[in-house]
């Protein structure tokens, strides 16, 4: 292991990221309205969304674990339907008070709160009545909800993001996460959802910059994408994926305009993205204080596997090929720390905005038999990615605000699968048995504690 001779800033953020539906539980408590997740049933390989890890009642216990580990940042999500049960109409003061207490509990432990305003859990009413972000009414409802949260919490919460992994709304995943319940999932609808979500982000970002001293950035799910071969068409497809799924949004986050290539594609293919004349006035004002992103893996694209006529937004759905140079997790994700460094460096080189990786980790099946879980694979994953980040900082000159792992206290995965665990702390429940939800630190908990104590200066194994 290479010794680091440089030093990270004293205010560097080390922490944890989660979503509300994967942590809180209490789905019908405290005046909360239903979200689209609350009505999804359990399956053979997933739980329902009613209990999660019961952080609604146990957040103090979890914050104690974070503080003991040395964390100084927690990115959590406000459940829209907990504070605004229908997504429209009156706000729920009991739900707002829950977050007030949660924020104060974090600050009491010297943990900086960072709020995400939407992580796929559309209020069920807005999904059923308006088909989610396919409707501009929902854009307005989101901006109304979000600005109210900024008014309520912006005195204590200075870091904000609107949409978790916003570029997912430019892929087929959009129809699952945007509150879209009915339709033919057309290319027009995909681009309309993506544009409406960007308008919603713009409305909130502009409000924050015009009215507060808070900071806000755009967030992407960033996977490094390689061409499968030197075939020029593979190289073209890899570049187009980055342009359509990443740079198109980064251009708005930083410059207030969409990619010229993407807009030209929309025009040439007669795609109706519902771009109204006044939309420019909203987008042009957008700026970002940082670029946030999640990073778990890289992908490799083979143009030969992509049917002719497929739009770039769907290349990855058709043409992903296994990279023989990388290890693969048991859930099929290819582990690539060097891709992490490359994203940090190339985005910072081009856009010059501080980078903030706010999700990183590896999901693994684990069982608790009463003794400490020796998750050396997780230690290796985080060590290699933290080292890659430090290489980006000290060798490439990237400004990085912090490093937040994903679900570092076990939570159900995005599909509801409790078997796919990311945590340095084990939570004692399964998909279909809540058990006692006891929190038990794994070996990686103590390793990461030491890393944080040394501010990233010592990534070696514990003695």
Residue by residue, pLDDT tens for the chain (463 residues) are 444 468 999 999 999 999 999 999 999 999 999 999 999 999 999 999 999 999 999 999 999 999 999 999 999 999 999 999 999 999 999 999 999 999 999 999 999 999 999 999 999 999 999 999 999 999 999 999 999 999 999 999 999 999 999 999 999 999 999 999 999 999 999 999 999 999 999 999 999 999 999 999 999 999 999 999 999 999 999 999 999 999 999 999 999 999 999 999 999 999 999 999 999 999 999 999 999 999 999 999 999 999 999 999 999 999 999 999 999 999 999 999 999 999 999 999 999 999 999 999 999 999 999 999 999 999 999 999 999 999 999 999 999 999 999 999 999 999 999 999 999 999 999 999 999 999 999 999 999 999 999 999 999 987 6
Backbone angles phi, psi at 378, to 5 degrees: -75, -40
Mapping DSSP to helix (H, G, I), strand (E, B) and coil, where does residue 65 land? helix
- Count how many Cα atoms sit within 13 Å of the Cα of residue 437 in the half-sphere of its side chain: 20
Give the active site residue among 24, 189, 224, 359: 359
What is the model's pTM? 0.97
Residue 66 tokens, joined:
């974070």
Backbone angles phi, psi at 53, to 5 degrees: -115, 20
Position of tokens 């890289």? 298
The rounded distance, in Å, linking the Cα atoms of 39 and 158 is 33
Given a contact cutoff of 8 angstroms between Cβ atoms, the answer to whether 348 and 398 are in contact is: yes
Given a contact cutoff of 8 angstroms between Cβ atoms, the answer to whether 359 and 404 are in contact is: yes
- Long-range (24+ apart) CB contacts under 8 A made by 184-187 are 187/269, 187/271, 187/311, 187/313
Q: What burial class does residue 264 get, using C-beta atoms within 10 Å of its C-beta: 0-12 exposed, 13-18 middle, 19+ buried?
A: exposed
Residue 229 tokens, joined:
């071969």
User: Quick one: which of 176, 194, 158, 189 has its CA closest to 283?
Assistant: 194
Q: Which residues pair with 224 in a beta bridge?
A: 298
The rounded distance, in Å, linking the Cα atoms of 107 and 95 is 19
Residue 391 tokens, joined:
């290489």
Backbone angles phi, psi at 113, to 5 degrees: -80, 140
Active site residue 359: yes
Sign of CA dihedral 172, 176, 179, 182: positive
Q: What is the pLDDT of residue 4?
A: 47
Q: What is the DSSP letter of 277?
A: T
- Long-range (24+ apart) CB contacts under 8 A made by 329-335 are 329/297, 329/362, 329/363, 329/364, 330/364, 330/365, 331/363, 331/420, 333/296, 333/297, 333/362, 333/363, 334/297, 334/298, 334/299, 334/300, 335/297, 335/362, 335/381, 335/384
Position of tokens 């993506």? 194
Active site residue 165: yes
Residues 6 or more apart in contact with residue 177 via CB below 8 angstroms: 120, 168, 169
The rounded distance, in Å, linking the Cα atoms of 349 and 355 is 11
Give the active site residue among 165, 189, 224, 390: 165
Q: What is the pLDDT of residue 462?
A: 76
Q: What is the 3-state secondary structure (H, E, C) of 327-349?
A: EECCCCCEECHHHHHHHHHHHHH
| Inter-axis angle of helices 337-351 and 248-255, nearest 10 | 40
Backbone angles phi, psi at 211, to 5 degrees: -130, -10
Backbone angles phi, psi at 405, to 5 degrees: -80, 165
The rounded distance, in Å, linking the Cα atoms of 375 and 379 is 7
The rounded distance, in Å, linking the Cα atoms of 44 and 336 is 31
Mark out the alpha helices in 222-299 (DSSP H runs). Answer: 232-242, 248-255, 260-268, 279-283
Which value, in Å, is the radius of gyration of the alpha carbons in the chain?
Answer: 21
Given a contact cutoff of 8 angstroms between Cβ atoms, the answer to whether 103 and 157 are in contact is: yes
Given a contact cutoff of 8 angstroms between Cβ atoms, the answer to whether 451 and 459 are in contact is: yes
Given a contact cutoff of 8 angstroms between Cβ atoms, the answer to whether 73 and 111 are in contact is: yes
């Amino acid at each position: 292991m290479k010794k680091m001779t440089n030093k990270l800033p004293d205010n560097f953020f080390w922490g944890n990221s989660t979503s509300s539906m994967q942590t809180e539980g209490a789905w019908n408590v405290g005046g909360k309205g239903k979200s689209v997740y609350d009505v999804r049933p359990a399956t053979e390989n997933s739980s329902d969304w009613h209990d999660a890890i019961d952080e609604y009642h146990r957040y103090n216990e979890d914050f104690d674990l974070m503080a003991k580990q040395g964390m100084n940042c927690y990115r959590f999500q406000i459940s829209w339907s907990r504070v605004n049960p229908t997504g429209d109409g009156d706000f729920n003061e009991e739900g707002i008070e829950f977050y007030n207490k949660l924020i104060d509990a974090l600050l009491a432990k010297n943990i900086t709160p960072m709020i995400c305003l939407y992580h796929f859990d559309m209020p069920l009413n807005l999904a059923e009545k308006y088909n989610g972000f396919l409707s501009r009414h929902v854009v307005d409802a989101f901006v109304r909800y979000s600005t109210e949260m900024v008014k309520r919490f912006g005195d204590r919460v200075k870091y904000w993001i609107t949409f978790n992994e916003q570029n997912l709304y430019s892929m087929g995943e959009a129809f699952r996460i945007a509150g879209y319940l009915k339709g033919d999932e057309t290319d027009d609808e995909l681009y309309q959802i993506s544009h409406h979500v960007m308008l919603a982000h713009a409305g909130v970002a502009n409000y924050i910059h015009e009215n507060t001293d808070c900071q806000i950035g755009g967030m992407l799910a960033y996977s490094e994408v390689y061409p499968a071969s030197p075939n020029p068409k593979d190289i073209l497809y890899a570049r187009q994926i980055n342009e359509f799924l990443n740079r198109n949004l980064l251009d708005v986050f930083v410059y207030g305009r969409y990619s010229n290539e993407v807009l030209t594609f929309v025009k040439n293919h007669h795609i109706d993205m519902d771009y109204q004349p006044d939309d420019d006035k909203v987008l042009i004002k957008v700026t970002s204080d940082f670029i946030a992103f999640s990073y778990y893996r890289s992908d490799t694209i083979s143009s030969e596997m992509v049917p002719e006529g497929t739009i770039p937004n769907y290349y990855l759905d058709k043409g992903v090929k296994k990279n023989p140079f990388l290890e693969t997790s048991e859930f099929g994700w290819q582990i690539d720390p060097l891709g992490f460094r490359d994203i940090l460096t190339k985005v910072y080189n081009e856009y010059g905005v501080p980078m903030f990786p706010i999700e990183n980790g590896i999901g693994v099946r684990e069982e608790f038999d009463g003794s400490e879980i020796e998750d050396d694979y997780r230690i290796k994953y985080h060590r290699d990615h933290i080292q890659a980040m430090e290489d980006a900082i000290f060798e490439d000159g990237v400004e990085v605000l912090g490093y937040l792992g994903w679900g570092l206290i076990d939570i159900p995965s995005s599909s509801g699968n409790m078997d796919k665990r990311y945590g340095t702390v084990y939570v004692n429940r399964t998909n279909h048995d809540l058990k006692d939800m006891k929190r038990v630190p794994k070996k990686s908990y103590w390793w990461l504690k030491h890393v944080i104590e040394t501010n990233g200066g010592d990534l070696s194994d514990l003695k």
